[in-house]
Amino acid sequence: MKKLYAGIVALSVLGLTACGGNEPEKKTTSSDPGAEIYANNSCVGCHGRDLEGASGPNLQKVGSKLSEKEIHDIIINGKGSMPGKVVDGEDADKVAKYLAKQK
């Protein structure tokens, strides 16, 4: 009887371990192209999936502090430890527009 319970426990552990353990991280989908670019780029690594900040600053209310142009300039030129051109061209425009809405 003990072997039966041990077998059930072992199979349960294996089953739970196998569920989702090797799934790639899901990319965020949004109707805002800037949010899409932000979520699928290296921005998330420093500023967090929900703009909460990590090694980079919190961006949840960045639009109340900086204009779209100022945000765009930081994206293109970098600031502090943030390198420039993490995204560029139209992608930088879209991300700046998205972040400027965060108030």
Q: How confident is the model at residue 1 (pLDDT cuts 50, 70, 90)?
A: low
pLDDT tens across 22-63, in order?
433 444 456 899 999 999 999 999 999 999 999 999 999 999
pLDDT tens across 70-82, in order?
999 999 999 999 9
Q: Please, what is the Cα angle at 28 between 54 and 19, to 5 degrees?
A: 90
**Domain boundaries along the sequence of the chain:** 27-100
How far is it, in rounded angstroms, from Cα 15 to Cα 35?
Answer: 35
What integer pLDDT is reported at residue 81 of this predicted model? 93
Beta strands in the chain (DSSP E): none
Q: Which CATH class is domain 27-100?
A: mainly alpha
